[in-house]
Amino acid sequence: MELIDIVAVRTRELRVHFGLTQQELAELADVSEQSIQKLESRSKKQIWLQTVEQLAEAFGLGAHEFLAPDLPVDKAKLSKRVPSSRVHRK
């Protein structure tokens, strides 16, 4: 599996685990929503180390933890809260 694939899978797994939208994760990681969309849909062909670090940091992880073979859900925590972007919340 290529590095970009690992990052794509890990990003989606953690985003879903924390119940974030792509827009909310983009705000947390300080990247564009389009970048998250392209990454998760695997239409992105390369990724900068800085972007990996920003994604990892959004989940309170170091890049090495974010890229570890086992999903570090027990170590992950959101770095900060963002206002919900969801239109319909109960």
The pLDDT tens digits for 19-59 are: 999 999 999 999 999 999 999 999 988 999 999 999 999 99
Show me where the domains of the chain are located: 3-66
Alpha carbon distance 31, 61 (integer Å): 16
What number is the average pLDDT over the span 5-25?
Answer: 95
Q: Whole-prediction pTM value? A: 0.83
The class level of CATH for 3-66 reads mainly alpha
Query: Which residues are CB-contacts of 86 (< 8 A; sequence separation ≥ 6)?
Result: 21
Alpha carbon distance 34, 67 (integer Å): 22
